[in-house]
Structure 1
């Protein structure tokens, strides 16, 4: 059973299942996150949807680069959660299956290529409070507890 974070599914609403991958990216006492400015500003763990036929780790590399401009080294899978949400950029009600990985930023290759995204460095304590969705916050808080940051 995958734990759910956030809103309960709305009665009578059809949801499309959408698998995605996201990374906790710690370095030098901070966290590399992404600020998605549209449709609403939100700090997020970098990541996103897995394309049909794409391996999850390949999707993670692609999505982190698109949203931050950084190449990463993936260390391990931390777990998964699901959330029910409306995605206005796709006009889609989605059941998002979010798999979280621990990875390290390796090389900044340029600015983000994904429109309306910006790479942001956050102090660990600030990230724990400011990540935009409860699943990201829960996985990050668990990471902080386990690592002692």
Structure 2
């Protein structure tokens, strides 16, 4: 069973399952994060949905690049969680299954290519407090406790 964070699903509401990959990207005592400015702002671990036919690792590389402009190496899965939420950009109530990886940021190629995303480095301790959802905060806290 995958641990659930956040809101309890509403009885009678239909949720669409969306599996996605998200990355803890440490460098020193900091994490590379993305801030989604619309409809936000919302501070997040970089990542997103896995496209049909795409492997989780390919999706992780693509999503991290789209949301941060960085290339990463050595992704390793560290856990998973799920949460029930409304996704306004898709007008969709979703059961998000979030696969969490740790990877090494190796090179910035440019700015994020995905609209309304800004990459930023933040102290891991601050990220634990400021990330926009309980699951992201939980995995940032696990990372921080491993330092």
For Structure 1 versus Structure 2, the TM-score category normalised by the shorter chain is over 0.9
> Separation in 2 of the partners of 1:34 and 1:74?
20
Alignment correspondent of 2:50: 50
**Alpha-carbon distance, 1:124 to partner:** 1.4
Could you say what secondary structure the match of 2:40 adopts? coil
- Matched residue of 1:125: which SS? helix
The equivalent residue for 2:124 is 124
Query: What are the within-5 Å matches in structure 2 for residues 29-48 of structure 1?
Result: 29-48=29-48
| SS of aligned partner of 1:17 | strand
Segments ≥4 residues shifted beyond 3 Å: none
Counterpart check, 1:110 vs 2:115: no
Task: After superposition, give the CA deviation of every residue in 1:16-63 in whole Å (9 maximum; x if it has no partner).
Answer: 000000000000221100000011101000000000000000000000
What is the alpha-carbon root mean square deviation over aligned residues?
0.7
Cross-structure match for 2:63: 63
Matches within 5 A, 1:76-87: 76-87=76-87
Size of the aligned set, in residue pairs, is 147
Paired position in structure 1 for 2:74: 74
Equivalent residue, structure 2, for 1:19: 19
Contact 2:124 2:140 in 1 (8 A): no
Task: Check conservation: 2:57, 2:75, Cα contact below 8 A.
Answer: no
Would you say the 8 A contact 2:17–2:95 is kept in 1?
yes
Distance 2:125 2:12 in 1: 39
TM (norm. structure 2) is 0.98
Q: Is the 8 A contact 2:25 2:102 kept in 1?
A: yes
Structure 2 runs not aligned, ≥5 long: none
Deviation at 1:144, TM superposition (A): 1.5
Whole-angstrom CA distance in 1 between matches of 2:126 and 2:88:
27
Q: Which runs of 5+ in 1 are unaligned?
A: none
